[in-house]
Amino acid sequence: MRGKLAVIALTLLLGGIVVGSSSAATNTLTNTMLAPYAGSGDYILCSGGVVTPDNPVTPAKEQTCTISSNSGACIERSSARVVVQTCDFTQTSAASTNRAIAIQLAIQRKSGPSGLFDATQIVHVGQQNVTANNNALVGQAVIQALGRSEDNGNDDDGDEEALAGSPVSTPINQNEEGHQYVVVCQGGADCHSAAGMTGDNTSNLLQVLGQSEVGKGAPTINQLQNVALRPTQCPNVEDLSAHVCASVDQNTTAGRDVSRIAQPYREFQSARNTGGGQQVQGDTTDPAKAGGLDHVVNQVGAQKSDIFTGQNAVQLQLTRNVGTMTQFQDPPIRKGLGSTQTATADSTWTGVQRLVQIQRMDGVSMGNQTALESYECFTTGLCTVNQSVNQNGAVTTNSCGPTSFCQTEITCEAVSEESGGCVAPPPVTSCSEGTFFDPTTGQCEEEIE
């Protein structure tokens, strides 16, 4: 067990580094995380806690682990069509290190012709300490594969040919709802406060959402990912319907805070010799562009503190000899309002956002594509943000920093052919005259005379 957890720990520490690189690297990361516990059937380990029995009356498979020991591990795996996984930690040691490890895997692999999958993953970590440290390590993965599941397209440029798959004569339909929520609170007697806490706080989070569909010869092929909006369970995030979200609150009067968050989000569809179909990611009707990825981080520390967040959303549709195919992507990537880092002047904050959307029909770029990336940070140290959007090979970038305050975004409206259709306005690095940045609201507010 200890060896497996060590592998997971190392994987999560690397997650923030590779999420901004190629999807081949992201897949390697995911496979490493899945390796210790990937398999068929249901599995649950609740070390240092209590398992709540599954309620047979409810339609969803329920896996629930509640831990109060200062050192605990929650490992949950399921391939049920509808599943809710919950890991809940309440750790209140005053002089010993609090350690929380949570791994949640929801995996569905089918040869076809259709697949429905609905997985919700929830992790709550509340850690209170006085003189020792708080450590949280969380990994979540929702993976659905239909057809040749061993092929999920590592090439984000979409240069590979459409995969053949196995011929079928009936429509191919794939629908995945994957909702992931992580809430981490680390501090003193009140985890939201630094009072009485002199140790260090460390949080490493990895949230992986993946879907792949491969088909051939079907009348139609359709792939839907997270088209249902549901209320988020992460407090203080900007997007109240975020599919994948994390909320981290770290507080200490004498120690150091470290937070790393990696959120890879992927949808891959390959079709040959089909009558037509669609690939949809997110809610196509919502004008507010809700759903997608979001997180919020707040740190209060006395030593050099660090924040790293990486978000990587990829949508690929590769087709050959098919009818009309449509592609819609709207999983906004946000690091929203309200995050602050209050520590020393040498503290660092690094944000990476990367979005790739490729549609190729017989090698020609097509598409009806929208995208949004937004990021905000405020720190007593220095913040650096890098953003990129690749739509059918047209790449748009934006960046800011190193600076103490930054608001930056890229917006892309519906496009076709090889037009990028993206706008990257100059980043905002200071509040306008007559306003000041209020860390309690995360916004520039009017000065009151």
φ and ψ at 146, to 5 degrees?
-125, 125
**pLDDT confidence of residue 10:** 40
241-249 average pLDDT score: 93
Indicate the DSSP class of residue 226.
Answer: S
Percent of the chain residues past pLDDT 70, beyond the cut: 80
pLDDT tier at 151, thresholds 50, 70, 90: very low
**pLDDT confidence of residue 249:** 97
pLDDT tier at 39, thresholds 50, 70, 90: low
Calculate the CA dihedral of residues 216, 217, 218, 223 and round it to 10 degrees.
20
**pLDDT confidence of residue 3:** 39
**pLDDT confidence of residue 292:** 85
**pLDDT confidence of residue 59:** 84
Contact in structure between 143 and 108 (CB atoms under 8 Å) = yes
Cα dihedral 412, 402, 200, 337 sign: negative
Among the listed ranges 65-69, 124-128, 235-239, which one has the minimum average pLDDT value?
235-239
**pLDDT confidence of residue 47:** 94
In whole angstroms, what is the distance from residue 94 CA to residue 189 CA? Answer: 9
Residue indicated by tokens 């190392």: 10
- Type of residue found at 335: K
194-205 average pLDDT score: 95
Burial 67-83 (b: 16+ CB within 10 A, else e): bebbbbbbbbbbbbebb
In whole angstroms, what is the distance from residue 46 CA to residue 182 CA? Answer: 18
**pLDDT confidence of residue 82:** 95
**pLDDT confidence of residue 440:** 63
| Better pLDDT: 219 or 283 | 219
| Better pLDDT: 357 or 12 | 357
Instruction: Using alpha carbons, list the distances in angstroms from residue 317 to 147, 209, 314, 366.
Output: 15, 17, 10, 10
First to last CA, the chain: 61
pLDDT at 371 over 90: no
| Better pLDDT: 26 or 404 | 404
**pLDDT confidence of residue 324:** 85
**pLDDT confidence of residue 165:** 54
pLDDT tier at 100, thresholds 50, 70, 90: very high
| Better pLDDT: 259 or 420 | 259
Q: What angle do CA 85, 88, 91 make, to 5 degrees?
A: 160
Q: What angle do CA 256, 261, 267 make, to 5 degrees?
A: 175
φ and ψ at 195, to 5 degrees?
-55, 125
φ and ψ at 243, to 5 degrees?
-70, -40
- What's the mean per-residue pLDDT of the chain? 83
**pLDDT confidence of residue 193:** 95
pLDDT at 244 over 50: yes
| Better pLDDT: 134 or 420 | 134
Percent of the chain residues past pLDDT 90, beyond the cut: 50
Closest-CA residue to 349 (of 386, 302, 312): 386
Domain residue spans of the chain:
2-446
**pLDDT confidence of residue 362:** 73
Q: What angle do CA 420, 316, 287 make, to 5 degrees?
A: 60
In whole angstroms, what is the distance from residue 106 CA to residue 84 CA? Answer: 9
228-254 average pLDDT score: 91
Q: Kind and range of the H or E element at 6?
A: helix 2-18
> Structure tokens of 176?
């995945």
Contact in structure between 416 and 366 (CB atoms under 8 Å) = yes
In whole angstroms, what is the distance from residue 298 CA to residue 149 CA? Answer: 39
| Strand, coil or helix: 130 | coil
432-446 average pLDDT score: 72
**pLDDT confidence of residue 448:** 75
> Structure tokens of 363?
């090698």
Closest-CA residue to 271 (of 383, 163, 155, 409): 163
Among the listed ranges 279-288, 313-322, 436-445, which one has the minimum average pLDDT value?
436-445
> Structure tokens of 265?
């989000």
**pLDDT confidence of residue 222:** 92
Cβ count within 10 A of residue 103: 27
pLDDT tier at 36, thresholds 50, 70, 90: low
**pLDDT confidence of residue 4:** 47
Contact in structure between 346 and 304 (CB atoms under 8 Å) = yes
**pLDDT confidence of residue 8:** 44
In whole angstroms, what is the distance from residue 226 CA to residue 118 CA? Answer: 9
> Structure tokens of 223?
């792939």
Contact in structure between 398 and 426 (CB atoms under 8 Å) = no
In whole angstroms, what is the distance from residue 329 CA to residue 293 CA? Answer: 13
Looking at the chain, the number of H-run helices and the number of E-run strands are: 2, 26
pLDDT tier at 350, thresholds 50, 70, 90: very high
**pLDDT confidence of residue 259:** 97
In whole angstroms, what is the distance from residue 28 CA to residue 11 CA? Answer: 10
| Better pLDDT: 240 or 134 | 134
| Better pLDDT: 274 or 48 | 48
**pLDDT confidence of residue 367:** 59
**pLDDT confidence of residue 393:** 85
Q: Kind and range of the H or E element at 113?
A: none
Q: Of 113-117, 225-229, 340-344, which one has max mean pLDDT?
A: 340-344
Q: Kind and range of the H or E element at 401?
A: strand 394-412
Listing DSSP states for 299-315 in one string gives: EE-SS--EEEEEEEEEE
**pLDDT confidence of residue 29:** 47
